[in-house]
């Protein structure tokens, strides 16, 4: 396990900090396209410092070629950049925290800017042993999808409804479009997804919102509990596990494809970003998915009912700092 905190003046500086920590803890950095690999999973990190705003993009693959370029790529990338039209761009200098875990491999990056705005980037390898032999188990996610939908849609993330494909949903494996009746597919729906896992269920390779049947969700199994928190007896919240399920069309079931060990769902009504919750020997650091808005605690419920914050929906990462 490793943890560092620092300040970055560019997205390239943040990318370099991530790569340095990963290499120091057993990851291999392929020089061709700055691809990080370990235990059969591969991720490229690309910083764009020339565009306004700057961005840091991540994309998973299944290998590298002779030039160290990523192969077997996911449907698209996820990124740290503006989340929705009304949200603010990351402002520099920004503060970052990087959490790195082994067995299973999980890396979480959190940035804080504009005082109360947060974004995340995460990647790792699933610990589920029952995935197909052809699956790498690699997964990745970040606050923003490739595309910001045209129009006035902002952030769509709600305690009792899914994040939508066509609005920005800045949660890790929050969109669950594939758990509904399939709709008419859009030709570029992967552009709206921000979380992918190489589960290769039914030979489909990487998950994603594409065609509504291939979405992996980390919120579908716990949302009913999130709506009940914090409890009304003593206002305490509960750290909920982070299982990720994916539809298995052939048997009309959902399948566990990952069970993230070092992150938890949490309602942050009574917690400030950065609070540390101690449970036995473990400590967990609390963050909002984007921006805490107590007056709209459940977030936004539809594509068109966008919001500039994510209510009191948040997460906690196992904290190993001092």
Instruction: Give 128 or 230, the one with higher predicted confidence.
Output: 128
How does residue 284 score in pLDDT terms, banded at 50, 70 and 90? Answer: very high
Instruction: Give 147 or 264, the one with higher predicted confidence.
Output: 264
Instruction: State whether residue 16 is helix, strand or coil.
Output: helix
pLDDT of 187 reads: 45
Contacts of 251 (CB under 8 A, 6+ apart): none
Inter-residue contact 92 to 75 (CB < 8 Å): no
- The position carrying tokens 């769902």 is 265
pLDDT tens for 288-298 read: 999 998 888 88
State the Cα–Cα distance between residues 169 and 172, nearest whole angstrom: 9
Q: Residue 129: exposed, middle, or buried by beta-carbon count in 10 A (0-12, 13-18, 19+)?
A: exposed
State the Cα–Cα distance between residues 36 and 236, nearest whole angstrom: 39
State the Cα–Cα distance between residues 138 and 155, nearest whole angstrom: 27
**Mean pLDDT for the chain overall:** 85
- Phi/psi of residue 201, each to 5°? -65, 130
Instruction: Give 91 or 180, the one with higher predicted confidence.
Output: 91
Instruction: Give 75 or 315, the one with higher predicted confidence.
Output: 315
| CB burial string 14-38: b at 16+ within 10 A, e below | bbebbbebbeeeebeebeebbbbbb
| pTM value > 0.85 | yes
Which sign does the torsion angle of CA 138, 143, 215, 176 carry? positive
pLDDT of 232 reads: 79
Residues in the chain: 322
Instruction: Give 74 or 166, the one with higher predicted confidence.
Output: 74
Average pLDDT over residues 300-306: 53
Tokens, residue 282 = 């473990």
State the Cα–Cα distance between residues 11 and 34, nearest whole angstrom: 14
The pLDDT > 70 percentage for the chain reads 79
pLDDT of 120 reads: 97
Tokens, residue 264 = 């938890």
The pLDDT > 90 percentage for the chain reads 55
Instruction: Give 308 or 106, the one with higher predicted confidence.
Output: 106
Inter-residue contact 318 to 287 (CB < 8 Å): no
Long-range contacts of 4-9 (CB under 8 A, 24+ apart): 4/97, 4/98, 5/95, 5/96, 5/97, 5/98, 5/321, 6/95, 6/96, 7/93, 7/94, 7/95, 7/96, 8/92, 8/93, 8/94, 8/96, 8/111, 9/92, 9/93
Which DSSP helix (H) or strand (E) runs through 42? strand 41-48
How does residue 111 score in pLDDT terms, banded at 50, 70 and 90? Answer: very high
């Amino acid at each position: 396990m490793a943890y560092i905190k620092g300040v970055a003046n560019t997205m390239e500086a943040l990318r370099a900090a991530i790569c340095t920590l990963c290499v120091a803890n057993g990851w291999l950095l392929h020089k061709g396209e700055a691809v990080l690999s370990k235990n059969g999973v591969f991720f490229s990190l690309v910083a764009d410092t020339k565009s306004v705003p700057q961005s840091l993009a991540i994309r998973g693959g299944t290998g590298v070629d002779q030039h160290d370029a990523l192969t077997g790529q996911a449907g698209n990338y996820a990124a740290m950049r503006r989340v929705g039209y009304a949200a603010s761009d990351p402002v520099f200098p920004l503060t970052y925290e990087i959490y790195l875990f082994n067995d299973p491999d999980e890396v979480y990056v959190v940035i804080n800017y504009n005082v109360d705005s947060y974004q995340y980037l995460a990647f790792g390898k699933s610990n589920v042993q029952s995935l197909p032999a052809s699956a790498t188990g690699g997964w990745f996610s970040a606050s923003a999808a490739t595309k910001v939908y045209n129009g006035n849609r902002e952030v769509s993330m709600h305690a009792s409804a899914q994040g939508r494909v066509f609005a920005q949903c800045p949660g890790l494996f929050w969109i669950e479009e594939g758990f509904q009746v399939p709709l008419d597919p859009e030709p570029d729906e992967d552009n709206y997804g921000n979380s992918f896992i190489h589960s290769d269920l039914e030979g489909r390779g990487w998950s994603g919102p594409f065609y509504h049947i291939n979405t992996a969700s980390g919120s579908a199994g716990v949302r009913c509990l999130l709506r009940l928190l914090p409890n009304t007896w003593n206002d305490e919240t509960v750290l909920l596990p982070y299982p990720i399920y994916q539809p298995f069309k052939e048997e009309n079931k959902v399948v566990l494809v990952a069970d993230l060990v070092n992150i938890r769902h949490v309602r942050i009504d009574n917690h400030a970003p950065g609070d540390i919750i101690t449970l036995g020997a473990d400590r967990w650091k609390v963050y909002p998915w984007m921006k805490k808005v107590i007056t709209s605690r459940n977030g936004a419920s539809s594509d068109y009912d966008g919001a500039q914050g994510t209510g009191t929906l948040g997460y906690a990462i196992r904290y190993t700092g001092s």
